[in-house]
């Protein structure tokens, strides 16, 4: 599992400990975590949730009248630091 996946799993575990059911998904350039947030989440739980997603590269809260509140977080996958980022034909 890439480092982004490990970080995302750690965030998901912290969200679960705060009472949310988190879902982790691998993508080409990042790993995402999503969790539905009930309106009854306590202030203390919100603090724990915000501390958890603060470990991500980006996070936010998507609110709709149809689906309620979905918390999301994204951990970017590491970009190669060598000169072959573009492949063999693009070396510096």
Q: Listing from the earlier edge strand, what are the strands of the sheet with 22-26? A: 22-26, 30-37, 68-76, 58-64
Kindly state whether residue 83 falls inside one of the protein's structural domains: no
Domain of 16, in residue numbers? 8-76
Q: Is residue 88 part of a domain?
A: no
- Mean pLDDT score of the chain, rounded to an integer? 84
More confident residue, 4 or 45: 45
* pLDDT tens for each residue of 3-43: 766 899 999 999 999 999 999 999 999 999 999 998 888 99
Q: How many domains does the chain have?
A: 1
What mean pLDDT is predicted for residues 67-89? 73
Residue 82 covered by a domain: no
- The dihedral region occupied by 55, where left means phi > 0, alpha psi between -120 and 50, and beta the remainder, is alpha
Quick one: average pLDDT of 57-82? Answer: 85
Q: What is the dihedral of CA 14, 19, 21, 22, to 10 degrees?
A: -20
pLDDT tier for residue 89 given thresholds of 50, 70 and 90: very low
């Amino acid at each position: 599992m890439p480092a982004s996946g490990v970080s995302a799993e750690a965030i998901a575990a912290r969200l679960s400990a705060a009472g949310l059911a988190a879902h982790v998904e691998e993508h080409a350039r990042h790993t995402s975590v999503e969790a539905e947030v009930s309106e009854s989440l306590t202030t203390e739980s919100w603090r724990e949730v915000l501390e958890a997603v603060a470990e991500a590269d980006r996070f936010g809260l998507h609110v709709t009248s149809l689906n309620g509140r979905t918390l999301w977080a994204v951990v970017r996958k590491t970009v190669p630091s060598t000169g072959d980022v573009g492949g063999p034909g693009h070396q510096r």
